[in-house]
Every structure is written in C-alpha cells, then in structure tokens.
Amino acid sequence: MPLRLGTRGSRLALAQAEMACRALAQQGVEVETVIIRTKGDDVTGVPLHEIGGQGVFVRALDDAIFAGEIDAAVHSMKDIPAQRPRGVTTIAVLPRESPADFLALSTGMADVRVVGTSSTRRRAQILRHDPAVEVKVLRGNVDTRVRRLLAGDYHAIVLAEAGMKRLGITLRGFRLPPERFVPTANQGAVAVVCRDDPSLLITLSGLDHTPTRRDVAIERAVMEAVGGGCATPMGIYCRKGRLIAEILAPDGSRTERLERDVKTAADAREQGELLRDRARDLIAMAPGAMAPTAGDA
C-alpha cells in the first residue's frame, strides 16, 4: 500500500510535494499524493492574520492525518505554527532553497508607488526602506499574485524567491538581501509532518537535511521565545549559526534588531527572550496583538 502524502492543491504546494515524492522514490518508497483543501485556500479576500494566520494552511492537513485520510503531509515550514498538537511530528526538513524575498516589478524601480503584499513583516520592511510607498493587501497563490502584477494592479509585489524557483517563474525585479529584509522564520524550507507511528518515522526520517534542520530550529526557537502573534512584523534568519532577528513597528518607523552567533536552540531561545523584552511595545502594536508577559515563551 503506498504512503499517502497530503498537500494543498496550489501549484507551489504540489511542486513541493513532488520534491518529497522524488526523494522517497529514490529510497524505494511508493507514494500517493492526496490534495487537501484548507480555509486559507478558500478565503482569499482578507489578510491571513484575520482568518487565523499561516496555521490555517496546516490545520486541515493535521486533521486529515488524525482522521487517517493521509499518512503524512508536506508544508512550507514557515506555515507551521509554533504550537503543535500531540500526535504529529515534523519528521524531516528538506534542503533549504533561497530564504530571501524577491521584489517583482511591472515598472521601473523609480516609478514604484504601489506595492502588493499581505505580510505585515514585508509591509513594515518596505515602509522602512521607503515610507512614501503605498502598500496594498495582496492575497492569493503565486500565480494569482503574478497575474495581478502583470495586469498593472501593482507597480511591484513581494514574493518568496524559493517559490519562484520551484515554479520556474522568472520576473523582472531583484532579490532583497536577507540581511536587510530579514525573512520570516523558516522561509525557503519545506517540512514533512507525519503522525507518531514508528514505521512512518523510520521511513520518512531519511529525508531530513541536518544543516537545514539546525538553522530552522534556531529560527523557530527565537520565534517561540518572542511569542507575539502571526501579525507581528518579525524577521528571523539563521545561516550556519549566524542569527539575525528583528521586530518592526507596523509602519516601519522603528526596529529592534540583534545579530549573534548561536550554536544551540537553547542559546537561540535566550536571544529571542532578549529581543522580546526589548520590543514589547512593538509587539503590542501588531494588528490584534496582545503584548507577551514575562512568562510567555
């Protein structure tokens, strides 16, 4: 009986699932792909934080695992919430693609006045760079957002460079350096989640890429220590133990930032707590946010 691997139905999600399928096939594992619809796919007219954040893409697949409809699921790791239900495990993290954002243009850079994104982090970073720009909400999958750009609805939009590469999309524009436009935690990484079944854990563990898991674990430790919410404008990026993390005011007018060499998730957690304490007022500014208390972790 083939292993049933769940995924969302977007072109990008299917491309990422195919990455896992190819890796499993190389190990002699037969795989069947099962498409699961999520609330995040069905409700596209509002910002993600208003319908439950990035976790809306994950919960439907978790439910399918618990219901026995699928054995495992493939996710963009940045979509996986910090708090996870018992009974599921992130068993593997595939080799990371570019963590950076890409600014795609429909006009010359000097003429950019309207930028599309639904991310509060990207909005704050864009406004920090140029407060005169108007940032308008843009939801939908990558193909939808590209169509809106090419139709002239926006002068520029921000996309994850990894997604563009996985879909073979080439657009006019340029990569935003992750040291300046710090990406969201785990951007560019793909995770495989499964129920806590010993045979599944053994089968899927061979997909894990240790250097990527180490970096994304540090990023997640910072994210969990900071707390806040999915609407907090926060960037966290680690490469080979070099951590950059920042929290911004929603309008980009202020930033709290740290850069450190970090060896373990415990060290990263300490840095996250430090950043949280320095940025309490910024966290409290996020849409619908409640400032974390000293006991939050």
Per residue in 248-269, pLDDT (tens digit) is 999 999 999 999 999 999 999 9
Task: Say if CB 254 and CB 282 are below 8 A apart.
Answer: yes
pLDDT in tens, 94-111: 999 999 999 999 999 999
Query: Is-catalytic flag, 79?
Result: yes
pTM over 0.95: no
Domain architecture of the chain: domains with CATH = 3-94+189-208 (3.40.190.10), 101-176 (3.40.190.10), 219-285 (3.30.160.40)
Residue 116 has pLDDT above 60, yes or no: yes
Phi, psi torsion values for 54, nearest 5 degrees: -60, -25
Give the helix ranges, DSSP H, for the chain. Answer: 11-26, 39-42, 56-66, 120-129, 142-150, 161-167, 198-205, 210-226, 265-278, 280-285
Pairing of strands 31-35, 3-7: parallel
pLDDT in tens, 210-229: 999 999 999 999 999 998 77
The catalytic residue among 62, 79, 101, 215 is 79
Let me know: does 212 contact 189? Beta carbons within 8 Å: yes
Tokens of 83: 């708090």
